[in-house]
Structure 1
């Protein structure tokens, strides 16, 4: 990669995207972030923000074209834009299910499709898709979110093999819980007085919010992204999170499904 490498980070106005952009900029990368409406952040000075809505193909193409017009290349793409969603699978409005998948799964695929031709032309590039530890398992009342991140994880495996002959490296990074504003911005299926899930969903929601509030420093994710970008032959999947969150993936691999399910049920008091 040339020095400085040009980096595009989606969903970079706050949270993990912003922390990653700040860290990479401090390491000499030429960072550009995206936000659906950069005008909402008039005091944002950490790095340039381009207007991009990952749910709108024309918006994605226009942002990538604008970056290429300014820099002439894109060396790194970090697909970070995403939304949270909670609720019982049965009661979550299907329109909200589709919207979450549109942002968390279709969105990253659109952005990869927009930058891949330029990276192929360059003969080099690096794509890191931010997934989630939740994407390794179907979490109760977070099933739609888990499914969207799990889908991105599996699609990345295929994309990685397809892009490898063109000198483009691809990997995923799955964070655990970090102290960001995702809890305040995610969609919550309303708690109905008559819902059979009222008590269990309500308790699980409180537990989820507590996990985010007590989550780690987003700078840990930024440092993990930086370490991945230094790899000449990166692994397919990386994780970052608390020891317990990462150990949960070890248990997922080695325990029978019903045993692991029992652990989750106990954790969420189901």
Structure 2
């Protein structure tokens, strides 16, 4: 029997690549978007969902259960980027980012757990970020939101183990997607004390995304996780140096690692 997969934020980028790859592998895939009417030619059905709005989550989950009778895999992929000096990012934008990157996935998890308990099994994959393993300059809010999702997954795994429900994180590095175009950018203010370092860092971040890996790499990694009987707690997917940066953070003194980051961003 084909597994039923539910992917949030699946209209483009990593989510779309995962969905299309899993369809080719014989899975029944449902994706989501805030504007599904734009994606009528998608290779899988796109449902309307905004992770900030709990009612749209429940509607999508209930629609899938009514049609398929089960949900086997949930991929919490919907997310939003945000950049800027923390001092200058409006507080409402910080809250909005956490609503999407942290509270949104929690709402999705809560919506699917009753069904997974009922069917005595399921897998939840939370897409985080390598940026969630370190506080990156001018990406501090994004790093924090993804780090929060990483940590709460560790706790969730232990709480749902008795129900035969598995959960894991997969942290991508830089991939060639449209996330840079869709992220919130705090404006470069002429009178800002951060104008030059923030502007230089922003250009560097955008170049990393433009030169990032093909999202199909993430799709293959997620497929492998789905096929693994007992997934690990954390997975990292990206260029060697991006993954190695996490190792360096574990072994280097804090100030040495901080200096490496500052040198990388030319701060």
Q: Distance in 1 between matches of 2:46 and 2:60?
A: 10
* Unaligned segments of structure 2, at least 5 residues: none
Aligned twin of 1:115: 112
**CA-CA distance at 1:39 after TM superposition:** 1.1
Aligned to 2:4: 6
Counterpart Cα distance in 2 of 1:45 and 1:55:
23
How far apart are the structure 1 equivalents of 2:228 and 2:206?
34
Tell me the residue number matched to 1:160: 157
Query: Does residue 26 of structure 2 align to residue 28 of structure 1?
Result: yes
Q: What is the correspondence of 1:44-55 to structure 2 with a 5 Å cutoff?
A: 44-55=41-52
Q: Deviations over 1:64-108 (max 9, x none)?
A: 011111111000000000000000011001010000000000000
Q: Could you list the per-position Cα deviations for residues 83-140 of structure 1 after superposition, in whole angstroms to 9, with x for gaps in the alignment?
A: 0000001100101000000000000000000000000000000000000000000000
Q: Within 5 Å, which residues of 2 pair with 1:195-214?
A: 195-214=192-211
| Counterpart Cα distance in 2 of 1:213 and 1:136 | 22
User: CA–CA distance in 1 between the matches of 2:136 and 2:249?
Assistant: 12
Structure 1 CA distance, aligned partners of 2:158 and 2:217?
28
In the alignment, does 2:40 pair up with 1:72? no
Structure 2: how far apart are the matches of 1:21 and 1:40? 16
1:252: which partner in 2?
249
The secondary structure found in structure 1 opposite 2:175 is coil
Q: Does 1:37 align with 2:57?
A: no
Aligned with 1:19 (options 9, 17, 20): 17
Q: CA deviation at 1:234?
A: 1.1
CA distance in 2, matches of 1:153, 1:194: 36
Matches within 5 A, 1:69-218: 69-218=66-215
Output the TM-score relative to the length of structure 1.
0.98
- 2:226 maps to 1:232: no
- 1:41 shift after superposition: 2.2
SS for the counterpart of 2:79 is: coil
**Aligned residues of 2:39 and 2:46 also touching (Cα < 8 A):** no
Structure 1 moving runs of 4+ over 3 Å = none
- Give the secondary structure class of the aligned counterpart of 2:88: coil
Q: Deviations over 1:189-247 (max 9, x none)?
A: 00110000000000000000000000000000000101111111111000000011011
CA–CA separation in structure 2 for the residues paired with 1:93 and 1:226: 38
- More divergent stretch after superposition (64-73 vs 175-184): 64-73
Gaps of 5+ in 1: none
| 3-state SS, counterpart of residue 125 of structure 2 | strand
